[in-house]
């Protein structure tokens, strides 16, 4: 396994781990209405995890192998996209 393959796999595994964390945060963001501080806190955590996922996994598109790009697409755009839209929704709600 060469350096490029290893770096792509590490980035995909980090993205997968961040998506697991995002799933738990997204469940709390989309849960029942609650206290403003709780919603804002989970929004900040979710936004930072989604940003970290974008930063870690995006380079796989340019430097990764052909089979790694579709996996990176799924890791970047589905759950982090939902979380970022939820964060923006919470910001607009409490602004």
pTM, 2 dp: 0.81
Statement: residue 13 has pLDDT above 90: yes
Complete DSSP assignment for the chain: --HHHHHHHHHHHHHHHHHHHHHHHHHHHTSS---HHHHHHHHHHHHHHHHHHHHHHTHHHHHS-TTHHHHHHHHHHTHHHHHHHHHHHHHHHH-
Confidence category of residue 33, pLDDT binned at 50, 70, 90: low
**Lowest-pLDDT range of 10-14, 28-32, 40-44:** 28-32
């Amino acid at each position: 396994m060469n350096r490029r393959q290893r770096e792509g796999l590490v980035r995909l595994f980090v993205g997968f781990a961040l998506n697991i964390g995002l799933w738990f945060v997204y469940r709390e963001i989309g849960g029942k209405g609650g206290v403003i501080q709780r919603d804002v806190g989970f929004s900040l955590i979710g936004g930072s995890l989604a940003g970290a996922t974008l930063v870690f996994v995006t380079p796989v598109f340019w430097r990764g192998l052909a089979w790694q790009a579709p996996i990176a697409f799924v890791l970047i755009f589905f759950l982090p996209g939902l979380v970022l839209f939820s964060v923006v929704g919470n910001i607009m709600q409490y602004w």
